[in-house]
Structure 1
């Protein structure tokens, strides 16, 4: 029985495999570099989002609590609560605007 000769030269196949390995290694390095920069930016954006949420909730809850205490002691229900809730909202938005106008690190 005669064997059919190989269509590809083994040396040529080795060169193609080596070239493929080189390209694969370069692609992995580019992907790792891209993931490192994205992870750093995502962490910073995540922290900034949490800070904005904390400012907003803190202003609303803090203003409502202070207003409720004023109403409790002064007997001005519901005006102390409403005024301080409004003031807490204004302060929260002022802080958020100040954070958004600050240049990035």
Structure 2
């Protein structure tokens, strides 16, 4: 009967070791997932703030043009649309959908 209990204790110890290994592996995977969640959240905050800022700046410029020039709602409409377009372009650049503009290389040959 002692052999049976020794074998049971050995298997129980092996099982405990394997469970400990898997728990540490799962903890490491959870830490990576939490880091990815924070990165995605910060990316979302950055993109949304760029979009809101573009629209607000366009609206502000349109309001100032309307106030100074007395053009009615047309300045607000035009610059709000321009701000929206600029905001969408900035979001696309931030997400990597559109490349950032690079200065052209001049060709000095004549």
TM-score normalised by length of structure 1: 0.83
How far is 1:62 from its partner?
Answer: 1.4
Please tell me whether residue 95 in structure 1 is matched to residue 101 in structure 2: no
How far is 1:65 from its partner?
Answer: 1.5
Superposition CA RMSD, Å: 1.7
Please tell me whether residue 56 in structure 1 is matched to residue 60 in structure 2: no
Is the radius of gyration larger for structure 1 or structure 2? 1
Please tell me whether residue 77 in structure 1 is matched to residue 72 in structure 2: yes
4+ runs of 1 displaced by more than 6 Å? Answer: none
CA distance in 1 between partners of 2:19 and 2:72 (Å)? 71
- Please give the per-residue CA displacement for 1:64-87, whole angstroms capped at 9, x wherever unaligned: 122111111111110110111011
TM-score normalised by length of structure 2: 0.79
How far is 1:61 from its partner?
Answer: 1.4
Q: How many residues are matched? A: 96
